[in-house]
Structure 1
Amino acid sequence: MHIASLLDPSRIASDLAAGSKKRTLEQMAELLSRGLDSESSPEVFSSLSGRERLGSTAIGHGVAIPHGRVAGLQQAIGAFGRYPAGLDFDAADEEPVRLVFALLVPAESTTEHLQLLAGLAEIFSRPDLRARLLKAASPEELYQILLDQAP
């Protein structure tokens, strides 16, 4: 998996703020819905929040990877948001989440879904990458940093 196959510059936000996990998932659903049909955002939010109710998607070190499945989606897509102030995401390490990569896959993509999650977890486990993402000056710089990554 190469992260470039999931991302589009329009689905990256550099300075988001949210007072709750729910608001974060709404913002990520809005980003993921860019380029999809205009009524997809509520369905995307429902998928992300349904998965989050099963347990936190925070993976530690200030990173969360909320994910979900949507019927009719042709291929996996991702969105990236940076939350400079951090937010409580019920992470096991209790660190506030500052980096959120949301993943959406077609409803029938079980194996691909797991492979993508594993690849993303590997990418975001790198302290040097997390530091560069936190210091990036713009969405364009975030996009370029993410494009340069491979698991």
Structure 2
Amino acid sequence: MFSPDLISESRIGCGLEISSKKRLLETLAELLASDHPRLQTETVFERLLERERLGSTGLGHGIALPHARLKDVSDVLGAFVQTKTGVDYDATDGEPVDLAFALLVPEAANEEHLHLLAHLASLFSDPQIRAQLREADSPARLLSILSAG
């Protein structure tokens, strides 16, 4: 279960046409910054990209979990995107990514960050959850599936 502040319908993209890993990260950055006055989309994008340079956050099975630490956030923020077709993401299994959950965490949030990443990795390892997320046709339905996990 997620905190209600972690993710909202306004930070979920459903059935988006995205053609590249860069554009996927840009879209996630836009969603993360959209309702947070102190965040700039470009800053969020750069931090997500910096983290990707350390190693791909593509988990396999079409899932990516990009994440970054940012001093301008006081609580963990999440955004989710479901794409119409998968994008090349350099995932561990080579599969294109069509489901991505991005996290921004405060710079000092070590344990909470790791716990949440582990929870999300576990959630996305469930084939039934992945199938439900791929079949969902609205941000509300995606939020319901994510929140139930």
Q: What's the TM-score bracket when you normalise by the shorter of the two chains?
A: over 0.9
**Pairing 1:60–2:26 present:** no
Structure 1 unaligned segments of length 5 or more: list them: none
> Do the aligned partners of 2:39 and 2:72 also contact (CA within 8 Å) in 1?
no
Change in Cα spacing, 1:121 to 1:3, as seen in structure 2 (3 Å) is farther
Q: What is the RMSD of the two structures over their aligned residues, measured on CA atoms?
A: 1.4
TM-score (norm: length of structure 2): 0.94
Query: What is the CA-CA distance between 1:39 and the residue it aligns to?
Result: 5.1
1:111 corresponds to: 111
The 5-angstrom pairing of residues 1-151 of structure 1 reads 2=2, 4-37=4-37, 40-149=40-149
Mapped to 2, the partners of 1:66 and 1:17 lie a distance apart of 19
Deviation at 1:38, TM superposition (A): 6.3
Q: Report the TM-score when normalising by structure 1.
A: 0.93
- 8 Å contact 2:15–2:137 — kept in the other structure? no
Aligned residues: 149
Identity value in percent? 48
SS at match of 1:101: strand
